Structure 1
Amino acid sequence: MIDKLEFFIALARQQHFGRAAEECGVTQPTLSAGIRQLEEQLGVMLVQRGSRFLGLTPEGQRVLEWSRRIVADTRTMREEMRAARTGLAGHMRIAVIPTALAMVRKLTEPFQKRHPDVTFTILSRNSLQVLSMLEDLEIDAGITYLDNEPLGRVTSVPLYSERYHLISAAGSPLSDRETVTWKEVADIKLCLLTPDMQNRRIINLHMSEVGVTPKLMLESNSMIVLFSHIRTGQCASIMPRNVAESFGFPEEIRMIPITEPLAEHSVGLVAAYREPHTPLVSALLHEARARATARDFDRNLLSSDGSAILT
C-alpha cells in the first residue's frame, strides 16, 4: 500500500504519468497499475484520465492529504527504528532561499560535527517552492522568510534577521554615502532578483511604501549574475550585507545601509508541522534552536556605520 501511495503523491506532484514513474524509479505501466490498484482498494476514482493526466478528482484531492500523512508517518517510524539500531544517521534535504544560502553552513557545520553520519543536499529555491516541497515530502526542512508572507502550517525556528544594504561599486551613484534612503535608491539603475523571489517582493514593498518603483536594468534568479554586474559599476543592487560579504567583495565595493524606513525581516528554519518529527528533523530543529539562542546567526548589533555585525 505504501508504495502505491508514494506513486500517487508523485503523480500529483508531476501531473504526468511518465515523469512520475521516472521519479519513482519504475516503468510507466507499473505506476499506472499501482494507481489503479489503489483506486480499486479504496473504491473511488482518484485521477481524471484522458489521453493524458487531467487532474485529480475531488476524492483524489482528499486521498492525497491522507497519503502525505501516511507516507510521512511511515518514514518517521522507519527512521526511528533505524536510529534506535544504529544511532542518528542518514541524509537530509534542505531547500533554501537564495539570500540565505551563505548562512546555511552556520547550521550544517555544527550539526555534522555533532552527528558525523548525517549528510546533506542543499537546494536553492524561492520561498513558495520551499513550502510546496515541504508539503509534497520532497525535502525534510527549509530555510525561508518567516514574517512577510503566510507560511501555512509549519514548525519554525527564527535564525537571524535580514537588513538591507545598497551594494555598489566605488565611484558609482550614491557610493560615497554613509546611509541612503529607499527613495534615493529608486533613482539609480538596479539589478535585482526576479519577482518570483520573496526578497524582490520585499524590496518592491518597501519602495512602494515611500511611493517609488525600482529603476530596473537587469533581473536574475542567480546571485552570481547580480554580483558580476555590480562589479562593472553599471548598476547597483539591494541585498542583505551577509550575502554580499559571503562573496568576498574587494574594498572597491561599498555596502551602504538603507534607512527610512530601516527594513528588517526574519529568516528561519521551517519543517512540516507534525508530531513526531523524524529523528533527523527533530535533531535539526534542536540544533537550530540552540544556535539561535546562542545568537550564533545574528548578534542583532549595529556597528558605527549602521551595518549589521555578523559573526
Structure 2
Amino acid sequence: ERILAWARTLLAAHDGLQAEAASCRGQVVGSLRLGSVPLASFNPMHLLLPLREKYPELHFQLSSHTSEQIVDGLSRNQLDLGICYLDQVNASFFDVIELGTTTMGLLHDTRHFQLAHSALRWEELGDIPLGLLSKGMHYRQSLDLSFRSRGLEPMAVLESDSTFQLIQAITSGVCCAVMPLDCGLEDLSEHMRIIPITDASVLSPVGLLLRRSEPRSAIAEQCFDEARALFASMPR
C-alpha cells in the first residue's frame, strides 16, 4: 500500500509534467481528474460539456466520493478539481466557486406512481416507499435531519451507496426517492418525473474546489478559470 501511494504520486507528476508542457505551447491536453458528490443540485455535465467543446483533446476522469474524500483527494493531489458540500471545507486551503444550494424533490416513475401534485410537503411522504442513500453520506444526513425535525419516519424500503442502483429501483417500481432538483436525473427516462418538496434543501452549499498549494496541474487551473467565467454568467 505504501508503494502504491508513491506510484500514484509519480504517475500524477508525470501527467502534470505533460500538461505543463502542453500549456506552454498554448494547448490544454491530458486528463482532468474530477471528483463529485453523488447527489447535489448541480449536474457535472454542465461543466464537462463546455470544456469538451472548447478543448477537444481534453479527457475526463469523473469519480464519485463523499465530501471528505474529495477534500482528501485534492490535498493528496489525487484529484484536480472537486465538487462537494462546503460545510467541511477550510477555504484557506482551496480556491472555491460556490455553485448554489441543493434543493430537493420526489423522483418517481410515472408507470408505477401517479402523483398529481405540483409540490409536496414532507408530511405527504410518509406513505410513499423510499429509496435512500446509505447512512453516513452527507445527503442522507440532511434527509434524516429534515424528517426528524418534523417528527416523521420515512418508509425506507431500500438503502444504497449507489445513485445508479437507486435509479434502477425507481424505474423498476420498487420505490421513489428524494433527489436533488436540477441535477438531470429526470432526463434519464421519459417516464421520470420530479416534484419539488416545500422547504427541502441541504443547508450547506455546493462548490467547485481547486487546491491552492503547489504543485497544481495546469489543466486544473485552466479548467477552474473556465468554470469561474462560465458560472459567473449563469443563474444558480
What is the TM-score when the length of structure 1 is the normalising length?
0.63
Which residue matches 2:180? 240
Q: State whether structure 2 residue 216 is matched by structure 1 residue 274.
A: no
Report the Cα distance in structure 2 between the residues aligned to 1:92 and 1:101, rounded to whole angstroms: 22
Equivalent pairs, count = 230
CA distance 1:112–1:268, change in 2 (3 Å): same
For 2:63 and 2:13, the matched residues in 1 are separated by 24
Match of 1:180, SS state, is: coil
Question: Cα offset for 1:82?
Answer: 4.9
Deviations 1:60-109 (A, max 9, x none): xxxxxxxx9xxx99997885455224633222211111125982222122
Rg comparison, structure with higher value: 1
2:117 matches 1:177: yes
Judged with a 3 Å threshold, the aligned counterparts in structure 2 of structure 1 residues 134 and 246 are, in CA distance, closer, same or farther, namely farther
Contact 1:100 1:243 in 2 (8 A): no
Tell me the percent identity.
26
- Relative contact order, CA 8 A, sep 6+: which one is greater? 2
Q: Which runs of 5+ in 2 are unaligned?
A: none
What stretches of structure 1 of length at least 5 have no aligned partner?
A: 1-18, 27-67, 301-311
Shift of the 284–167 alpha-carbon distance from structure 1 to 2, 3 Å rule, reads same
- Within 5 Å, give how 1:204-283 maps onto structure 2: 204-241=144-181, 242-250=183-191, 253-259=192-198, 261-263=199-201, 266-274=205-213, 277-283=216-222
- Which protein is richer in helix relative to its size? 1
| Pairing of 1:109-258 with structure 2 (within 5 A) | 109-146=49-86, 149-152=87-90, 153-170=93-110, 175-241=115-181, 242-250=183-191, 253-258=192-197
Query: 3-state SS of the aligned residue for 2:205?
Result: strand
Give the deviation of 1:222 after TM superposition. Answer: 1.5
Aligned to 1:284: 223
RMSD: 3.2
Shift of 1:205: 1.9
Do the aligned residues in 2 keep the contact of 1:169 with 1:175 (CA within 8 Å)?
no
CA distance in 2, matches of 1:74, 1:121: 16
Deviation at 1:122, TM superposition (A): 0.8
The alpha-carbon distance between structure 1 residues 128 and 246, as it changes in their structure 2 partners (threshold 3 A), is farther
Give me the whole-angstrom Cα distance separating, in 2, the residues matched to 1:73 and 1:228: 39
Aligned-pair distance for 1:226? Answer: 1.1
